[in-house]
Every structure is written in structure tokens, then in C-alpha cells.
Amino acid sequence: MTELVLAPLGGGVLIGLAAAGLYFGAGRMAGISGILGDAFRLDPAVAGWRWAFLAGLLAGGALLLALLPGALPARIEGSPGLLVLAGLLVGVGSRMGGGCTSGHGVCGISHRSGSSLVATLTFMTAGAATVFVVQHLLGGGL
């Protein structure tokens, strides 16, 4: 029960609070692909708050490592080639589509954006289709 419902629900509530806090407190959307992609701009007005958010993400990660190490992966499955391909697809796709799980899935849907709902349904379907091909047609090994 805890692992299946309460932890995911509680974690989700924290994510919602963080995203809403960023919107109410700073007028920004907690879309992580946009924050990361635009952090490399030279204008400090564009990049500044993004680096603060990313530093917070890493500080939270360090806190998890200290307090709840089981929450972080002990190993990452997949060959280097597969991980590079997957990373490139996530990077290009999230910027091309204007957002990722956080920007479209959490912020966009909360703001009742129909386009974000379409994007979310699209990446969920594509993700499920990919897992189906890898796990059931290719036998899980890549």
C-alpha cells in the first residue's frame, strides 16, 4: 500500500507544491526540459533563475542520497550506445515538443492546456509502445 499508493501520491503532492510554488512565487513554469535547455543562454535574466532551480534539484538529489538512497538508481540499465540514443531523443524531443513530463504533464495539464494534454498522451503512448517493442518483441535485451 505504502509503496504502491502512498509514496507515489505523497511524492506527487510534493511535485505539485514545488511547481505551484514556482508559479505563484516567481511566475515561472516548472518545465524541466525548458529550464535545462534555456539555462545555457548568455542573458543572465533568462538563465539566472534556471540555474537556481537546477541547483535546487541537485541539492534535493544530494539530500536523497543521504537520507533515502534507495530512491536513487543503484545502476542504470542499457549499453552506452542505447543510453546516448535515449538521451538524444529525450533532449531533442522535449525541446521540439515544447516540454516534458513536468512542463506538459504537470504544469500544462494543471493549467488546463489542451495542447499539453495531447503532448502528454502522445509521449505516454510512445513510451508504452517503445517498452512493448523492447520487452516483448525484442525480449528485453538491447
Subset of 40-99 contacting another protein (CB under 8 A): 40-46, 48-50, 52-65, 68, 71-73, 75-78, 80, 82-99
Determine which residue in the list 38, 138, 139, 141 makes contact with another protein, applying CB under 8 A.
Answer: 38
Q: Say whether residue 14 binds another protein (CB under 8 A).
A: yes
Annotate the chain with three-state secondary structure.
CHHHHHHHHHHHHHHHHHHHHHHHHHCCCCCHHHHHHHCCCCCHHHHHHHHHHHHHHHHHHHHHHHHCHHHCCCCCCCCHHHHHHHHHHHHHHHHHCCCCHHHHHHHHHHCCCHHHHHHHHHHHHHHHHHHHHHHHHCCCCC
CB of 43 to another protein, least distance (A): 6
Q: Say whether residue 141 binds another protein (CB under 8 A).
A: no
Determine which residue in the list 136, 138, 139, 141 makes contact with another protein, applying CB under 8 A.
Answer: 136
